[in-house]
Amino acid sequence: MKHLITLTALVLLAATAYSSQLPSGKQGIMKMNSFGVGLGIPYGVLGASVDVNVAPKLNVTLGVGTTVLAGIGYNFGLKYFFTPPNRTFRPRVSAYYGVNSMIQVQGSLTGPNNHWSSKDDTVDPQAASQQAWRSSVLDDAESFKGFSLGIGAQWMWGKTKSNGLDFDIMLIATTGLDVDEFRAAGLDVTEPGRVKISIGYRHSF
């Protein structure tokens, strides 16, 4: 994950350098990038994100935050806007890769034989072919990565369009979470939904 975040940060820095080389007279050049804080997949669940304009109506985005229960969350991807940055209302589509699912396990590994102690009974994870879960002995929750798709809009107000809100409906296209695998080990888990909501505040620069 560290290598992934480092690579994305380098892409964002390169995009910022590219933007700074564009002619200063280009309309809205100082207002095409943005920083925001919010809740949802684009913000690493609960955190902040940076958008850097790399082409007309196209932004590269990186969000880093906390999942609250399962450590650090992050997402990076692309946003395509259907209107230029001088518009108040800017509908868009987006695509991300990163943390998009989280599950809380109702049980823990206990005892000398590292058995999973669930609500109802005790199941040996080795017998259930779940040896990989031994590394989660102290974790009550886990996060999983995958691809997410979004449709939403950014609403920036005022003459300079410097501040505003954004909203997205996110669809989890793929995820590493396999609920059946957890249940096969005798754990009580609730399957999260595939549709999520994201909302945040943005400041353009």
Asked if residues 198 and 154 have their Cβ atoms less than 8 Å apart, the reply is no
The stretch 133-161 carries a mean pLDDT of 80
Indicate whether 149 pLDDT > 60.
yes
The token pair at 189 is 């888990």
Span 73-114, pLDDT tens digits: 999 999 999 999 889 999 999 999 999 998 877 654 444 444
Q: Which two tokens stand for residue 56?
A: 């007309």
> pLDDT band for position 132 (50/70/90)?
very low
pTM of the model: 0.71
**Per-residue model confidence (pLDDT) at position 141:** 82
Mean pLDDT of 144-148: 97
Query: Which domains are present in the chain?
Result: 2-17+32-204 (2.40.160.20)
Total residue count of the chain as it appears in this document: 205
Q: What is the phi-psi region of residue 84: left when phi exceeds 0, alpha when psi lies from -120 to 50, beta otherwise?
A: beta
Alpha-carbon span 49 to 93, nearest angstrom:
16
33-53 average pLDDT score:
97
Q: How confident is the model over 193-205, as a mean pLDDT?
A: 95
Residue 98 confidence (pLDDT):
98
Q: 1 exposed, middle or buried (CB, 10 Å; 0-12, 13-18, 19+)?
A: exposed
Contact 143, 110 (CB under 8 A): no
Cα–Cα nearest to 42, from 3, 80, 79, 86: 79
